[in-house]
Structure 1
Amino acid sequence: MKKIFVLGALAAALSIGLAQAGEKLVVAATPVPHAEILELIKPQLAKDGVDLEVKVFTDYVQPNLQVDQKNLDANYFQTKPYLDNFNSGKGTHLVIVQGVHVEPFGGYSSKYKKLSDLPDGATIAIPNEGSNSGRALLLLQKAGLLTLKDSSNALSTPKDIASNPKHFKFKELEAALLPRVLDQVDLALINTNYALEAKLDPSKDALVLEDKSSPYVNYLVARPDNQNSEAIKKLALALTSPQVKAFIEEKYHGAVVPAF
């Protein structure tokens, strides 16, 4: 009887310990603002029984591959056009779970103060990945600097430019590298997370910037097999809480905008 009592006590203690530890959830994110937002909600998730671990990545490829291969549970860094293009190109089947915020995409220059100052034949650096390349070109089109063959094609590349009256030259680079080449080009179209990491202020430094109606929402992304799990649902709920909304508005001053 004594042995049974001891075993029962150990089992109860183990059960309590597991309950306190919570369900483990490992989420990939780029440093700013995604990882910062995830770190903010860790305490609340812990109270809700979810032990959140944030894995920081500085590229846009591994976070998706690692989730698809089930090395990670979810990620938070990307837009739907990027995800759709990634799934199509890589044969993955990742799914969006919850929209969280918009990062207005912008064009920056260390040489000029206005778009109208760009000289004939200026070199413009843009992301080399389909959806972000298209996003950059659509923004330049909206600013009146060029015209695309299909004015609504979100996957446009420089080959899809129909009219380029100022004979701009385009340099396609990995998105993370764009802030580093600002002094080597006339204009660089930079994703806001990388702009913020480079200490650029989109609201002050961008020569051209998407407005708050941008369709490029940043999503929490998971797999079909876990998108409806209780832990993922709790994470999605925490990411769209009043706490997160206030944090985004107070910390990023318009460089990041809540999408909920």
Structure 2
Amino acid sequence: MKKFLTLIITSLAILALAACGTSEENNTSASNDNKEQSEQESQENKEQEKEKTELVVGASTTPHAEILEKAKPILAEKGINLKIETYQDYILPNRDLSEGRLDANYFQHKPYLENQIKEFGYDFASVGPVHIEPMGVYSKNIKSIEEIPKGTDVIMSRSVADHGRILSLFERKGLIKLKEGVNKIKATREDIVENPKNLQFHADVNAELLPQNYQREEDALVAINTNYAIKADLNPTEDSLFIESAESPYANLIVTKTKNKDNEAVQTLLKVLQSKEIVSFIKEEYEGAIVPVEK
């Protein structure tokens, strides 16, 4: 009888150990399966990330980079990982594009682009327009065109590409007259034939420093690019003495190397920036200070 009980107890112990072993094996197997699945999913995610096209775009901080940030998640849904490089000046974005550090840039209008191509020999092309930044003229002390005294200093940027634009604006306001038949986009101070108020036009300041001149030269007229005006907490539609209309031909462009003009990712970038969602964002965010190009 004792031998029988001992045999039963021994058998039960063996079965228990076998059950435990099976349980541990099952747990280990399940753990290994989960680990393999996790590693597989991780690898798939990495492969999906690799499949995303990275697009490096150089842009002025305001408003260009802000607009690109809004477009970033839309582009991500289309498989494009947008990387934004911000700039404070108008020289480096084209140089970096030429040297391959950028795939495209977004900060310049057509006359500036053409001038840069002529000066540096860049092999660039415009992909298309996104928005217009109306040029405004500001003054701390002069509150209306009628109040402008004779001999008032007019401070412009040293960028030759902006001179015709500014002079044309002054002509439209009746303050000067340009030579008959002159190309208004390329007009210079030498093309002024009538200047009844004897305005003194100066062009020796970098564009990004114009808001400082506005603060310092209180009796002067200062022509400020809208992106720099906004950055200096000026509201172009409220604080300017006068400003370009929305029909300005100086639309800001997406620019790339000529060989990449038809690149699918670059073309998608333009389409997103011209989409209803981005157009609505520009209108709501900048309240007329920035005017979207609508297609």
TM over 0.5: yes
Matched, 1:208 2:242: yes
Residue correspondences, number:
252
Deviation at residue 137 of structure 1 after TM alignment: 0.8
Deviations 1:62-119 (A, max 9, x none): 1111111111110011111111111111111211102111111110011111122111
TM-score under structure 1 length normalisation: 0.92
**Match in the other structure for 1:113:** 143
Q: Percent identity?
A: 38
**Match in the other structure for 1:163:** 194
**Match in the other structure for 1:5:** none
Give the number of the structure with larger relative contact order, counting CA–CA contacts within 8 Å between residues 6 or more apart. 1
**Match in the other structure for 1:63:** 93
Unaligned runs of 5+ in 1: 1-9
Q: Is the 8 A contact 2:182 2:191 kept in 1?
A: no
Deviation at residue 13 of structure 1 after TM alignment: 6.2
Q: Give, in whole Å, the separation in 2 of the partners of 1:156 and 1:60.
A: 20
Map residues 152-231 of structure 1 onto 2, 5 A cutoff. Answer: 152-172=183-203, 173-182=205-214, 183-184=216-217, 186-231=220-265
Relative distance call for 1:18 and 1:155 in structure 2 (3 A) is farther
Unaligned runs of 5+ in 2: 1-38
RMSD (Å) for aligned C-alpha atoms: 1.8
Higher helix share goes to which structure? 2
Map residues 1-260 of structure 1 onto 2, 5 A cutoff. Answer: 16-21=45-50, 22-149=52-179, 150-172=181-203, 173-182=205-214, 183-184=216-217, 186-260=220-294
Q: Give, in whole Å, the separation in 1 of the partners of 2:239 and 2:87.
A: 25
Deviation at residue 12 of structure 1 after TM alignment: 9.4
Provide runs of 4+ in structure 1 moved above 3 Å: 10-16
TM-score under structure 2 length normalisation: 0.81
More deviation, 237-246/147-156: 147-156
- Partner letter of residue 171 of structure 1? H
1:96 aligned counterpart, secondary structure: strand
Q: Give, in whole Å, the separation in 1 of the partners of 2:161 and 2:199.
A: 20
2:54 aligned counterpart, secondary structure: strand
